[in-house]
Structure 1
Amino acid sequence: MRQKLISALLYILSLLPFWVLYLLSDFLYVLLYYAVGYRKKVVFENLKNSFPEKSEGERQEIAKKFYKFFPDLIVESIKMKTISKESVIKRVELLNPEEVYRHFEQGKAVIGVTAHYGNWELGIHRLSLMTEFPKLIIYKPLNNTDFNEVYNALRSRFGATMVPMKQILRHILKLRGQPHISMFVADQTPTYQDSDYFMEFLNQDTLVYTGTERIARLTKQPILYCHIGRKEKRGHYFCKFTTLVEDPDEYGLHEITHLHNNFTEKMIRETPEYWLWSHRRWKRKRRK
């Protein structure tokens, strides 16, 4: 029953035109930043530890820009419930889809890597409309099962298949020998049961997932990074694909993990306000 109510509310809100949703976003910015102070301690601590070389004023400016962008991400994600295919294509420009197609033309499946950067949610819709080959979106299930089911239904509107992390290999093996893309959002915080590997990321000792590398080694699939950046025009993005790894066997242990995390870090450093700073990314520490 709760799922139906949540879905109905999202549907009604998604019918609002973008200009109305952005008015709502402007209100949410004031509410979240000035009135509620949503996760301000987390955001400012993350920025301080990530950019110790920046002044307090510079970090505060990044924080304000993040809090202005974050409500846009919320309302744009709501809009995904009813957004048309034409609007998705208009709002997310694929700069070089041929970088993916060339692997498909060779009969290969590919592993995609992205981060909680730009509008990764809208990126799911754009990826779904990019090719008829299967699209697997690897996700970490939410604790709230109602929201989990509602958002998975929203994300899969245009043909993506949502796959829980623990079921990755099973789904990939079903598609063995068939071109497809498996998309990992690789900057999430793993549990100690999921990973024991730490590396430096944004100046901090960081527990990272190694699943992307492990799957690539098992399947021999190339790895492409999907950089979803924001354009100057509000609500418009670009997606640029970069092949990070052609042959996983050419890399040593953990080199692939470092490669895609370093790519994410470089992207964040260039335009930091579009990363999810409210996420408690560094809550896991090395066990003594």
Structure 2
Amino acid sequence: MVWLSALLYYGVFIPISLLPYPVLYLISDGAYVLVYHVIGYRKKVVLNNIRNSFPDKTEQEHKDIASAFYRHFCDVIVESFKTFTISEQEAMQRMKFVNPEILKAYAVENRSVILAGGHYNNWELFAVAIDLLMDHQAIAIYKELKNKYLDEKMRSTRGKFGLKMISTKIVKEEFEKERNNLTATIFATDQSPSVAKNAYWTTFLNQESAMIFGPERYAKEYNYPILYGRISKIKRGYYEFSFDLISDNPKDEAYGEITKKLVRHLERDIKQAPQYWLWTHKRWKKNRPEGMPLY
């Protein structure tokens, strides 16, 4: 019901968002104890994902990664609440752009680009701040929430400083609509594809994995340069964002080469600091269809 969603938004989300960061982190510390040690929210899923991804690590190392993940996860939750009321100045202070010259060069050439990354570190703060940090119009592909009221509030929050949100249902139409404008279209490469047979199958974190092919597909179709985006945590509440160029001329790349590079970039970041990836996601619930190649 709309009134219940509105009560939740204005009675819980906004009051929490207005709290100062030190208080939010006290809440996060308490939430960590509750979520990890008491409730054990998706603890079996998290530990199973970590064990399968790092088979060479000991069980104690698996538990250490899980514990560190839940601490970070609770921080991201309270920081995401903060985005409802964060100011433009504070958003730019807490999400720094390391190498903006890469995108500026494409803006000078009037070339649209595709940005691809994963659910790594604080992607919610990134979504709020990204359009402030570039000359391109930032466009994010997202899956609509079932709750229409909260979906609208989420879109308005992420888009309050310029980001344009579009549903996964109209991606092709949006590319056609914006093809004469200067855009940077953002994909999450670690989403689980809805249809296994349409995915690009490869190994990711030591497991057969279905990877979305959309970033490569649209990069090749429109020949937009494609970049991998990395969010790094500097300290609690502060992040940096940087780009690695994957391909400047995607139409000349062999099939799967772009997707393979994106997968390896994300995999490298996760292996370096695994606590910052979203381990609660049931990422490996699909099996490779018979006859599908594994690249």
TM category (shorter chain) comes to over 0.9
- Counterpart Cα distance in 1 of 2:270 and 2:146: 27
Match of 1:224 in 2: 227
Of 249, 252, 255, the residue aligned with 2:251 is 249
Per the TM alignment, residue 194 of structure 1 is displaced from its structure 2 partner at its CA by: 7.5
Letter in 1 for 2:7: L
One-letter identity of the residue aligned with 1:249: K
Q: Which amino acid aligns with 1:10?
A: F
Partner-residue secondary structure (3-state), 2:198: coil
Secondary structure of 1:183's match?
A: strand
Calculate the TM-score normalised by the size of structure 1.
Answer: 0.96
The one-letter code matched in structure 1 to 2:265 is: F
Q: State whether structure 2 residue 104 is matched by structure 1 residue 101.
A: yes
Q: Which string of whole-angstrom CA distances, capped at 9 and with x for unpartnered residues, describes residues 27-50 of structure 1? A: 100001100001010000000000
Counterparts of 1:106-125 in structure 2, within 5 Å, are: 106-125=109-128
Q: Which amino acid aligns with 1:235?
A: G
Q: Which runs of 4+ in 1 moved over 6 A?
A: none
Question: Which residue of the partner structure matches residue 283 of structure 2?
Answer: 281
Aligned residues of 2:54 and 2:205 also touching (Cα < 8 A): yes
1:68 to partner: Cα distance: 0.4
- State the Cα distance separating 1:171 from its structure 2 match: 1.4
**Hey, what's the Cα distance between the residues in 2 that align with 1:49 and 1:198?**
17
Gaps in structure 2 of 5+ consecutive residues: 291-295
Deviates more, 1:34-43 or 1:162-171: 162-171
Q: Which residue of 1 aligns with 2:293?
A: none
Q: Does the CA-based 8 Å contact 2:196-2:210 persist in structure 1? A: no
Q: Name the structure 1 match of 2:239.
A: 237
User: In the alignment, what sits opposite 2:95?
Assistant: 92
Where 2:210 maps in the other structure, the secondary structure is strand
Q: Which moved more, 1:43-52 or 1:121-130?
A: 121-130
Name structure 1 gaps, 5 residues minimum: none
Give the Cα separation in 1 of the matches to 2:9 and 2:104: 35
Distance 2:243 2:191 in 1: 20
Please point out which of 259, 262, 265 is paired with 2:264: 262
Secondary structure of 2:140's match?
Answer: strand
Give the AA of the match of 2:128: H
Q: Which residue of 1 aligns with 2:71?
A: 68
Q: What amino acid is aligned across from residue 239 of structure 1 in structure 2? A: F
1:43-87 deviation per Cα after TM superposition (whole angstroms, max 9, x unaligned): 000000000011111111111100100010000000001111111
Structure 1 residue 193 displacement after superposition: 6.3
Match of 2:138 among 128, 131, 135: 135
**2:136 maps to 1:166:** no
Shift of 1:284: 0.9
More displaced stretch, 147-156 vs 78-87: 147-156
Other-structure match for 1:200: 203
For residues 146 and 6 of structure 2, the distance between their equivalents in structure 1, rounded to whole angstroms, comes to: 18
In the alignment, is the contact (CA less than 8 A) between 1:223 and 1:245 conserved in 2? Answer: yes
Residue 241 of structure 1: CA displacement? 1.1
Matched residue SS, 2:144? coil
Which residue is equivalent to 1:272? 274
1: CA distance between counterparts of 2:17 and 2:135?
Answer: 26
- Tell me the amino acid that sits aligned with residue 6 of structure 2: K
Determine if the alignment matches structure 1 residue 148 to structure 2 residue 154: no
Contact 1:195 1:208 in 2 (8 A): no
Contact 2:76 2:122 in 1 (8 A): yes
Distance 1:247 1:37 in 2: 46
Q: How far is the alpha carbon of 1:131 from its aligned partner?
A: 2.9
User: For this pair of structures, how many residues does the alignment match?
Assistant: 287
Q: Equivalent residue of 2:96, what SS?
A: strand
Q: Give the whole-Å Cα distance in 1 for the aligned partners of 2:69 and 2:264.
A: 21
CA separation in 2, counterparts of 1:259 and 1:146? 37
Contact 1:135 1:160 (C-alpha < 8 Å) held by counterparts: yes
TM-score (norm 2): 0.94
Once the two structures are aligned, what percentage of the paired residues are identical?
A: 38
CA contact (8 A) 2:196 2:288 kept: no
Cα distance in 2 for partners of 1:282, 1:15 equals: 37
